[in-house]
Structure 1
Amino acid sequence: MTIAILVMLGIGATCGIILSVASKVFYVYEDPRIGQVEYFLAGANCGGCGYAGCSAAAVAIVEGKAGPGICVAADSEAAVNIAGVMGVDPGTAEPLKSLNPCSGGDRADDKFIYNGAMTCAAMTALYGGKRVCSIGCLGMGDCIRSCMFDAIYMGPEGFPVIDEFKCVGCGACATACPKDLLSVKTMSQRLLVFNQEDHALAPCQQTCPAEIDIPKYIRLIKEGDYEGAVNTIRERNPLLLSCGRVCPHPCENYCRRGIEDEAVSINQLKRFVADYEMNSGRRFPISCAPDTGKRVAVIGGGPAGVSCAYFLRRLGHHPTIYEAMSKLGGITRYGIPEYRLPDKVLDWEIEGILNLGVDVHYNTVLGQDFTIQSLRDEGYDAIFMGIGAWKDYTLGIKGEELKGVSQGINFLSSVADSPDKKVPIGKRAAVVGGGNSAIDCVRTLLRLGCEEVYIVYRRTRKEMPANEVEIVAAEHEGIKFQFLAAPTRVLDDGQGNVKGLEYLQMELGEPDASGRRRPVPIEGSETILDVDMVISAISQQPDIRFMEGEPDKENIAITRWNTFDNDPETLQCTVPYLFTGGDVATGPSLVVDAIGGGRRAARSIHQYMTGEEIKGSPRSLRKRHIPESLFDTVAGVVPSPRTPMPELPVAERIDSMIEVDQVITESDARHESKRCLNCCRICYDPDRQDQNAA
């Protein structure tokens, strides 16, 4: 017995020695962070993340193969905690959500009928699928069967609907979709999506410079979800109150309903929901990504700069706006009269953007108070240039130096900056030009008490580039139009004051590069217009005198139009840290173009600061149109009257800066939203007689 015990003790001691040596020789180190990370995971071991359980997922996170937000069953707080363990940017912890942009379903026509293929994958193998639409959903439900969280169901109209509350962003549905239609994105990624040739887009959305999902927000208005409509617009355009008042709505030119009937009043619907929020007594919440610590200097607080700052802030960055004037708004404040866009409306809209955490330096002039280089020295990670086009073109005729001659933007900005909105004017004035600025000048002059006001334009009314509604309003208010007239000199009264404007009568010749017929002077047709004030409003360009003091000016390319040379897809300038947008990038353009440029630049700046490749999409549309989406005829349209724009009568508006165009009523908004055909790339809803009569 004693011998047996000694033998067992000997064997045990020998094994202990062997194991001790083996533990030293074959020691495997486990990163302690794996256990910490796994602690914050949900412990569901569901496999939705793509790894075999939470332990494998924790290892993948520590090894850098997965991000802190990979767990589909945990919440965003868990992802932030994991990011803290890993010491990485918590911005990667934004929740993912699946998106289905296709609303075709049963509306989509079939190329053929084949009952043997019961899955989307099998159907795709047959000539790309049965649907006529080249990119549309096939409706067989592969995505629904792939979802382990019951977050997708087949809607009543025959296309999958995603329940955002149940969706965990695992991506199984996107993997299962053979047409790559579904996508899984964070809020930040959704903000940075731009129109592409292979997207499900209605013609109106393809045309919109801001790329707003127009059919979606109109559908939400029809359903009474006004907050959802505002949020839809705000994913692409933060200045919806302003655009609802001043946008010339090029989208309506491509409204399918307009082919057979009057176009839907898209812009009035935008203004309706924008004003609804402003008058509701509360601001709808705007989400922002977690802070990244990245700082961006935004030069210019106009629509491009404010838009860029807005999207950068929502992406988690810290923008600071440098503004030369005492208030933000740029051309929307100092170039658009208050009877079109009231200051209090613009103030409310901009306040909401600043409340997100955007800093501003007012009365700070580029080239005097700071330079591009000084901003670099302060440690900004990137710079956005959005100074606009504030330098008026002169007429280039004799007498422009006389007292009583001014330029359009200078005149409008002096009125806007005046406490009582009044400046000295003459009794009879001529405004030279045919664009929106010229119309704004003449209508402002009337409101300031000018007795007789002329538009002097070298072409005819048909060629005027101003918005048609603005031209009509000016006609109603008594503006006189002198067409086919090219100014040749301003007459002097002998004391340095204006006493008249001489012009040559013109006739239209062959079309020029713009497509408009070229005005040709009629010899010996000099005519004098009896005026004591002349305003030149023919166009503007950026003022870039500040570039003379920039150390890096040799590397910053400027075009012959005084705009910053840039890649039109990314808006990056010829030095990598500098980006641009708005009029200083494109030349004078629409407010909504500047807003779209601000978002486009924000995406590129985001890519630059996060170390991504700065690039756009190889299939980018950029206001081009998808040929198959443009129709010559639209079957099933029942004529329905377009909601007229409510406006103050001339007698009530002509003596003040009170807002002329009014917002439509809720009942009119519902009526107008029902006129929308809810178009997609090819699909649309034909009218029903009973619906249209409602």
Structure 2
Amino acid sequence: MTRTPDIASGRLNDTALAVNFSDAHPPLTKEQAVVEADRCFFCYDAPCTEACPTGIDIPKFIRGIATGNMRGSARTILESNILGGSCARVCPTEILCEEKCVHNTREEGHPIRIGALQRHATDWQMDHGGQPFTRAPETGRRIAVVGAGPAGLACAHRLAMHGHDVVLLDMHDHAGGLNEYGVAAYKLAGDFAQQEVAFLMEIGGITFKGDQKLGRDFSLSDLRRDYDAVFLGMGLAGVRALGIEGEALEGVQDAVAFIEDVRSRDKKTVPVGRRVVVIGGGNTAVDAAVQARRLGAEEVTLVYRRGHEQMSATPVEREWAQTNDVTVRLWSSPVRIVEEDGALAGVEFSRGAATGDGRATYDAQDTFIVPADMVLKAVGQLFVADPVSGDSILIEGGRIVVDGSYRTTMEGVYAGGDCTVGEDLTVAAVRDGRDAAEAMHLALCAAPVSGVPA
């Protein structure tokens, strides 16, 4: 008799789910923010600013909080990073700005809580007056931005500020990209991602068109014909396969798709296994594992093929997994998905050991099985090149090649964010979109307005 894996929705009631998916890190109160801001030394040539991919003048915005100039504080952040609200919530500040804080070298060793202060200032702005920037006179230029994630949104906003008309195209029904569909629900709680998109769109001059996919609904050649310039910010739409036996079994799915389900559906309707195995060692793996646990999974095991030091998940994320009762097993490589009576029953792993250079060697004869009703694969995402492979876009190492001005090898087409080589961070994608927009603006200003692509 064929059985089915124990995967079900509604394992927890509404009250429990509301608690589990509430804001993981509640905001600072006004008093807490002022006290924290007063700790800052307001360093000249501040190392924290140097560590921020978008170059936010961190001492300046913190001084604004300390002196009660909230509007000035928020503007300092947003003129460098228009998505400063979401970046304050999702950025690994512990390995960026906060890691470089000079307080780390002092006896107490506690850096300024820069991320929390940034959230305090940007939230204040969104609650007290909305968009702080005004749009320049219209230029008559039309630009297509493909991908409404952090890179595309930042690019669209900066182009609109310069007076250009922007059409933002995305395969999803809503703008936001990773922030809307790919981040753990407790990191961007409630509908903050859409609130931030609405805030950004207040600049004017930006038209969003959802359910529009490059290669299906339009081509790159179409865009070059109809627009003065094009920005590609599609991110990483593909996922790596494990390439092992049993991967097609019911109950085995991509962690990215699971996270999107959790973000876009009523939590009570998202099915989860009683025993879940997550394969991978990045932040996506941690997000999937913790959310599975918070949906009501009784046992969640995150398994990674190497050690802690090689995991791309930050130390804070690894600790977060363990404090949420996720079991972490290291030096284990998946061999096969185990099937019993026609259904998923577990994952077989081979034990490994470090070789001294950070790599691992595995013993095919030394294996163990972790029981599972659900397996979530989080072994990396890929850029899907098919929609642009027929055009003169150079792709190397699975990413679009750009020059120092974010220009691709196709005239008039720029790119940035995860689809190009970089840090694969939200804040880095914002920087790419912003700087690409500046480069596009300079090029468009130098070209005559003729009604045809420049």
Shorter-chain TM-score bucket reads 0.7 to 0.9
Q: Structure 1 residues 593 and 459, CA, compared in 2 at 3 Å: closer, same or farther?
A: same
Q: Residue type matched to 1:371 in 2?
A: S
Given that residues 185 and 262 in structure 2 are in contact (C-alpha distance below 8 angstroms), is that contact kept between their aligned partners in structure 1? Answer: no
Given that residues 422 and 448 in structure 1 are in contact (C-alpha distance below 8 angstroms), is that contact kept between their aligned partners in structure 2? Answer: no
Q: Distance in 2 between matches of 1:464 and 1:311?
A: 35
Whether 1:384 and 2:231 are equivalent positions in the alignment is yes
Given that residues 540 and 588 in structure 1 are in contact (C-alpha distance below 8 angstroms), is that contact kept between their aligned partners in structure 2? Answer: no
Q: Which residue, 338, 348, 352 being the options, matches 1:502? A: 348
Q: Which residue, 252, 259, 266 being the options, matches 2:105? A: 259
TM-score normalised according to structure 2 size: 0.85
1:601-647, CA deviations, whole angstroms, 9 ceiling, x for partnerless residues?
Answer: 111111221128xxxxxxxxxxxxxxxxxxxxxxxxxxxxxxxxxxx
Q: Which residue, 370, 377, 388 being the options, matches 1:529? A: 370
Q: Distance in 2 between matches of 1:254 and 1:576?
A: 39
Whether 1:585 and 2:403 are equivalent positions in the alignment is no
Q: Structure 1 residues 421 and 573, CA, compared in 2 at 3 Å: closer, same or farther?
A: farther
Whether 1:558 and 2:361 are equivalent positions in the alignment is no
Given that residues 237 and 383 in structure 2 are in contact (C-alpha distance below 8 angstroms), is that contact kept between their aligned partners in structure 1? Answer: yes
Given that residues 242 and 341 in structure 1 are in contact (C-alpha distance below 8 angstroms), is that contact kept between their aligned partners in structure 2? Answer: yes
Q: Distance in 2 between matches of 1:390 and 1:421?
A: 26
Q: Structure 1 residues 421 and 224, CA, compared in 2 at 3 Å: closer, same or farther?
A: farther
Q: CA deviation at 1:431?
A: 0.4
Given that residues 267 and 295 in structure 2 are in contact (C-alpha distance below 8 angstroms), is that contact kept between their aligned partners in structure 1? Answer: no
> Match of 1:329, SS?
coil
> Match of 1:430, SS?
strand
> Match of 2:400, SS?
coil
Map 1:440-589; keep pairs closer than 5 Å: 440-495=287-342, 497-511=343-357, 517-547=358-388, 550=390, 553=391, 555-561=392-398, 563-567=399-403, 569-586=404-421, 589=424
Given that residues 333 and 343 in structure 1 are in contact (C-alpha distance below 8 angstroms), is that contact kept between their aligned partners in structure 2? Answer: no
Q: CA deviation at 1:420?
A: 4.4
Judge which range, 285-294 or 245-254, deviates more: 285-294
**How many residues are paired up?**
401
Q: CA deviation at 1:503?
A: 0.5
1:121-141, CA deviations, whole angstroms, 9 ceiling, x for partnerless residues?
Answer: xxxxxxxxxxxxxxxxxxxxx
User: 1:229 aligns to what?
Assistant: 73
Q: Structure 1 residues 203 and 587, CA, compared in 2 at 3 Å: closer, same or farther?
A: closer
> Match of 1:522, SS?
strand
1:558-582, CA deviations, whole angstroms, 9 ceiling, x for partnerless residues?
Answer: 1231x11111x21100012000010
Whether 1:372 and 2:212 are equivalent positions in the alignment is no
Q: Distance in 2 between matches of 1:409 and 1:599?
A: 26
> Match of 1:520, SS?
strand
Given that residues 300 and 321 in structure 1 are in contact (C-alpha distance below 8 angstroms), is that contact kept between their aligned partners in structure 2? Answer: yes
Q: Distance in 1 between matches of 2:147 and 2:284?
A: 20
Map 1:261-410; keep pairs closer than 5 Å: 261-280=109-128, 282-357=129-204, 358-378=206-226, 380-410=227-257
Q: Residue type matched to 2:210 in 1?
A: Y
Given that residues 415 and 421 in structure 1 are in contact (C-alpha distance below 8 angstroms), is that contact kept between their aligned partners in structure 2? Answer: no
Q: CA deviation at 1:480?
A: 0.8
Given that residues 215 and 387 in structure 2 are in contact (C-alpha distance below 8 angstroms), is that contact kept between their aligned partners in structure 1? Answer: yes
Q: Structure 1 residues 295 and 584, CA, compared in 2 at 3 Å: closer, same or farther?
A: same
Q: Residue type matched to 1:499 in 2?
A: A
Q: Structure 1 residues 475 and 541, CA, compared in 2 at 3 Å: closer, same or farther?
A: same
Q: Distance in 2 between matches of 1:588 and 1:432?
A: 22
> Match of 2:50, SS?
helix
Given that residues 434 and 466 in structure 1 are in contact (C-alpha distance below 8 angstroms), is that contact kept between their aligned partners in structure 2? Answer: yes
Q: Residue type matched to 1:258 in 2?
A: N
Q: Distance in 1 between matches of 2:53 and 2:422?
A: 15
Structure with more contact order per residue of length (Cα contacts < 8 Å, sep ≥ 6): 2
Q: Structure 1 residues 201 and 372, CA, compared in 2 at 3 Å: closer, same or farther?
A: farther
Q: CA deviation at 1:397?
A: 1.5
Given that residues 90 and 188 in structure 2 are in contact (C-alpha distance below 8 angstroms), is that contact kept between their aligned partners in structure 1? Answer: yes
> Match of 1:437, SS?
helix
Q: CA RMSD in A?
A: 1.9
> Match of 2:375, SS?
strand
The alignment-based identity, stated in percent, is 34
Q: Residue type matched to 1:503 in 2?
A: F
Q: Distance in 2 between matches of 1:212 and 1:468?
A: 24
Given that residues 539 and 588 in structure 1 are in contact (C-alpha distance below 8 angstroms), is that contact kept between their aligned partners in structure 2? Answer: no
Whether 1:416 and 2:263 are equivalent positions in the alignment is yes
User: 1:625 aligns to what?
Assistant: none
Q: CA deviation at 1:328?
A: 0.7
Q: Distance in 2 between matches of 1:321 and 1:462?
A: 39
Q: Distance in 2 between matches of 1:581 and 1:343?
A: 28
Q: Distance in 2 between matches of 1:265 and 1:417?
A: 30
Q: Residue type matched to 1:303 in 2?
A: P
Q: Distance in 2 between matches of 1:204 and 1:536?
A: 35
User: 2:286 aligns to what?
Assistant: 439
Whether 1:608 and 2:443 are equivalent positions in the alignment is yes
Map 1:540-689; keep pairs closer than 5 Å: 540-547=381-388, 550=390, 553=391, 555-561=392-398, 563-567=399-403, 569-586=404-421, 589-611=424-446
Which structure's residues are more often strand, by fraction?
2
Q: Distance in 2 between matches of 1:347 and 1:448?
A: 23
Q: CA deviation at 1:584?
A: 0.4
Q: Distance in 2 between matches of 1:278 and 1:606?
A: 27
Q: Residue type matched to 1:338 in 2?
A: A
Q: CA deviation at 1:202?
A: 2.0
Given that residues 541 and 588 in structure 1 are in contact (C-alpha distance below 8 angstroms), is that contact kept between their aligned partners in structure 2? Answer: no
Q: Residue type matched to 2:46 in 1?
A: A
Q: CA deviation at 1:284?
A: 4.9
TM-score normalised according to structure 1 size: 0.56
Q: Distance in 2 between matches of 1:252 and 1:353?
A: 26
1:428-458, CA deviations, whole angstroms, 9 ceiling, x for partnerless residues?
Answer: 1110111110000011111222111000012
1:519-558, CA deviations, whole angstroms, 9 ceiling, x for partnerless residues?
Answer: 221352211111121111011011222235x4xx1x2111
Q: CA deviation at 1:587?
A: 5.8
Q: CA deviation at 1:351?
A: 0.4
Q: Distance in 2 between matches of 1:275 and 1:470?
A: 24
Gaps of 5+ in 2: 1-41, 448-454
Given that residues 353 and 360 in structure 2 are in contact (C-alpha distance below 8 angstroms), is that contact kept between their aligned partners in structure 1? Answer: yes
> Match of 2:88, SS?
helix
Q: Distance in 2 between matches of 1:368 and 1:421?
A: 33
Q: Residue type matched to 1:476 in 2?
A: T
Given that residues 131 and 202 in structure 2 are in contact (C-alpha distance below 8 angstroms), is that contact kept between their aligned partners in structure 1? Answer: no
